[in-house]
Amino acid sequence: MTEISTTLRQEVERKQIISFARFMELALYCPNSGYYEQDQSRIGIEGDFYTNVSTGPLFGALLASRFCQWLEPGPNPVQLVEAGAHDGRLASDILTWIQARRPDVFIRLAYYLLEPSQRRRDWQKRRLADFAGTIRWVNGPGDLTLREPAGVNGVIFSNELLDAFPVRRLRWVGQQRRWNELGVGWDAAQDQFVWRLMPPMSTEEAIALEAALASDGIRLPAQLKAVLPDGYLLDWSASAGQWWLQAARALRQGVLMTIDYGLAGQEILLPNRQAGTLRGYYRHRGVEDLLARPGQQDLTAGVNFEQLRLRGEGAGLRTQEFTSQSQFLARAAAEHWPGGAPTPSEGRQFQTLTHPDHLGRAFRVLVQSR
């Protein structure tokens, strides 16, 4: 049994049952033993899953080109803020392009990495050593104003981050027309983690949950409650919405953007979604048992873009764009290669990033601005 498995088992046995959100938090982020803490090569062709950054430096170059258009022109200092930088590869690609192609922006730039993990900070420091004078670290969006008291003037962005925020797994009880929550227990006879129902919610807790879901765009009118199938699963991350709200409040002027896979509005409650959006990946293959191999397999759930849109607009941001990654990068490429053509290597990278059978259709881009 691995260190994180032992940690989880001890907590489950002590409490008898824990929420899946707690299980996911420890499995992915427990210091020194969580999935994202163990090995910086988790991502890529030799890891468990493939990302935009894995395709090569073009993705960072296209983002850098678009960011430079968004940054306020003139002599004033500007900030780029990346959340979820992992080993710093995307930051390196972005800064390399800006330094070479837009030195006028580079000399005014502070590049912040939102990173609470000391181990991942060490990975990032090694990769970004050539940009040491430009890089700053803070734990999260709530800490940005400690370093930039007037607020961020620039771009706050994440790439494939919010899908890894812990989620509560809710199951619809048709007869009672309310949600129950699935947690994680330990089956000593089978020597494994198992799904178990959390203690029933009180009426007050059920009402509060329904109100919280509605504020995130997940509304259940009476007609839908009457037909929602018994056992329908909903994976909901309150922490993703809170993170987006904090980032929106930290933005004085500029853009807040995320690239991720997920759903918008009532897509979340479509009939074909009744198994939820929670997924596990191990060595580039989907896994059926999401509770197996904690700390050794990735766990991810679709982002609720409606939640993010509502949180940002509630903080005074304007929704500027919500589109597919394919469309977003196609427009960026038209500006990146005006009247020219990509190299063969860039062409292959662009095809992977935008083709609907690769990454182009799965990922969406939300852009809000102030």
pLDDT digits (tens, 9 = 90+) for 144-185: 999 999 999 999 999 999 999 999 999 999 999 999 999 999
Rounded Cα–Cα distance for residues 12 and 33 (Å): 17
The full set of domain ranges for the chain reads: 3-37+168-236, 42-165+238-261+302-369
β pairing state of 178-187 and 192-197: antiparallel
Percent of the chain with pLDDT over 90: 81
- CB of 81 within 8 A of CB of 88? no
The secondary element (H helix, E strand) that includes residue 220 is none
> CATH 3.40.50.12710: does it fit domain 42-165+238-261+302-369?
yes
| Intra-chain end-to-end CA distance of the chain, in Å | 49
Structure-derived torsion over alpha carbons of residues 176, 242, 119, 80, reported in degrees to the nearest 10? 150
pLDDT digits (tens, 9 = 90+) for 287-310: 999 999 999 999 999 999 999 999
Q: Quote the longest CA-to-CA distance of the chain.
A: 67
Q: How far apart are alpha carbons 331 and 48 in whole angstroms?
A: 30
Q: Please state, rounded to an integer, the average pLDDT across all residues of the chain.
A: 92
Cα(285)–Cα(298) distance, integer angstroms: 10
Indicate if the pLDDT at residue 124 is higher than 90.
Answer: yes
Residue type, 353: L
